[in-house]
Amino acid sequence: MWTTASPVHCLPPLYLMRHGQTFWNAEGRLQGALDSPLTPLGVAQAKTLQQITAHIGGCCVSSPQGRAQQTSQLVFAGRDWTTDNRLSEIGIGGFAGRLLIDVQTSHAAVFKGAPLDWYNHCPNGEGFAALANRCRSFLTDLQGSTLVVTHGITLRMLRLLALGRDPAMIAEGDMGQGIVYYVKDGVCEVLDAA
């Protein structure tokens, strides 16, 4: 099992969002450091995120990856926003660009553990400890209320660290698209379109 340092404390309000659905999401293809554009559903999800967060002030930050930037252009329309490499999706090495079903067949042993444990065992992948370190670094640098567009696994790690929970719980809960995860004072609340 991997371990990390103590959780991040005393964080400002955090609004975590996953990029909209991509064509590769829809076909079950793994992205990691690679990219795919948003589907029409993904564009609609990004517009929903914009509606949910339009009245929320704060620093706006995105992963630099194309699908997150495409989402951010819609979510943060008319607002200033920046990118931060620490918000990139977990690196999955040789699995990037491949169909999940294919790698589950060709690397069956990697998928024998808990539901998301395989992210920690990708050939030439980044692993959870490295992801936790960069997510912790990002959270530690926050100066005030922050709206974040990132990716499924990275969002999961940010949420766990912000809540002060054990990163080994990474598979717990959903990380849906078109939803805002509001984290403040050790509590996570889901904000969705009314």
Is there a contact between 191 and 182 (Cβ–Cβ < 8 Å)?
yes
Catalytic residue among 19, 121, 126, 151: 19
In angstroms, rounded to a whole number, what is the distance separating the alpha carbons of residues 173 and 118? Answer: 17
In angstroms, rounded to a whole number, what is the distance separating the alpha carbons of residues 155 and 149? Answer: 9
Catalytic residue among 27, 55, 89, 107: 89
19 carries an active-site annotation: yes
Is there a contact between 33 and 89 (Cβ–Cβ < 8 Å)?
yes
Catalytic residue list: 19, 89
